[in-house]
Amino acid sequence: MNILSNFQYHAPKTKAEVLDLLADIGDKSKMLAGGTDLVIMLKEKMIQTENVINIADVKELSGIKFTDNGVEIGACTTISEIENSKELVEKYGALVYAASQLGSYQVRTMATIGGNISHSSPCGETPAPLSALNATVVIESKRGERTVKPEDFILGNRQNILEKDEMVTKFIIPEPVAHSAATYGNIGLRNAMEIDAVNMAVNIELEDDKKTIKSAKLIMGSVAPKPIVSEGVPSLLVGKELNDELIEKVGEAAMSEATPISDVRASAEYRKDVVGALARRLTKEAYNKAMEA
């Protein structure tokens, strides 16, 4: 009667127990947190596994903790906890908004931020805003800890840098610097339960004059096998004040860097146009917000 193929179930209670299990059987295991990707893949026989390690109830791995320098978000923190966090909204609004755009509310009460990046779908909602907010991904194994930027974590469609004994344990997001702001936007076929045709996050930091752009970051998802960090947009913007002509060029630069495919969700041509539109809109929004920040 089972739709799912046979596997052994493990429910470790502490992070140390999880890392022990990964060291022993990590090469024959899948991690279960929210299950919104894993259980579907098991049902569809897209993957098979001998072991499922449920980490959803490991308390050390979840929660939003503010520190002197920013905030730490545990890997098993659910997307709805992020969406509903009144403390996160002010400084990390781009991430909160992206969280609110993922799946449906039921999916968001289950899905976790660690799972979203570890699944490494090209259309994941949270990697782009995490990059824009200069987050660090903390990866742990029994061998120790290492950290990477979100944009260096995903290598391609469902591929990432995790070794078989490693897991993402948390994200560290620094306090935003003065006169900076991040924005996020996504376009899909409908507002809920869609997979993004394009998503994008932008961060703009201004000089003390609150006009001249000191640094800029633009990351786009769903337009290549992994999120693309724009090289052209920062080189266009840094040292300048934003104006209409420059905004047009930002859109063109982002479009030239996107390498989308045509699939059931959107054509490559449409995706390129959306990249241009989102780049223009989000850059303008981030610039205006940074002037107030």
Partner 1 sequence: MKQLITLNINNQNYDVIVTPMDLLVDVIRKAIGLTGTKKGCGQGDCGACTVLIDGQPKLSCLTLAITCADKKIITIEGIANEDGTLHPIQDAFLDHGAVQCGFCTPGMILSAKALIDRNPNPSQKEIKTAISGNTCRCTGYINIVSAIESYANLVAEKGAK
Q: Between 6 and 243, whose beta carbon lies closer to partner 1?
A: 6
Closest alpha carbon to 209 in 238, 241, 183, 177: 241
Taking the complex as a whole, the smallest distance from the CB of residue 32 to partner 1 amounts, in Å, to 7
CA dist list (Å): 191 to 185, 187, 188, 207: 12, 8, 7, 36
Q: Between 13 and 149, whose beta carbon lies closer to partner 1?
A: 13
Structural Rg of the chain based on CA atoms: 19
DSSP state of 35: -
Taking the complex as a whole, the smallest distance from the CB of residue 150 to partner 1 amounts, in Å, to 25
Phi, psi of 241 (to 5 degrees): -95, 145
Centroid of chain to Cα 205: 20
Q: Between 23 and 39, whose beta carbon lies closer to partner 1?
A: 39
Q: Between 3 and 264, whose beta carbon lies closer to partner 1?
A: 3
Taking the complex as a whole, the smallest distance from the CB of residue 73 to partner 1 amounts, in Å, to 18
Kindly list the residues in this chain that would bind partner 1 in the complex (CB under 8 A): 1-9, 11, 32, 35-36, 39-40, 43, 52, 54, 56-57, 80, 84, 103-107, 109-110, 191-193
CA dist list (Å): 134 to 18, 45, 190, 228: 27, 36, 29, 15
Burial class, 264, CB count within 10 angstroms (exposed 0-12 / middle 13-18 / buried 19+): exposed
Q: Between 8 and 159, whose beta carbon lies closer to partner 1?
A: 8
Q: Between 126 and 203, whose beta carbon lies closer to partner 1?
A: 126
Distance, first Cα to last Cα, the chain = 57
Taking the complex as a whole, the smallest distance from the CB of residue 201 to partner 1 amounts, in Å, to 21
- CB-based contact 100:135 (threshold 8 Å): no
- Paired strand residues for 183: 202
Taking the complex as a whole, the smallest distance from the CB of residue 33 to partner 1 amounts, in Å, to 10
Taking the complex as a whole, the smallest distance from the CB of residue 30 to partner 1 amounts, in Å, to 12
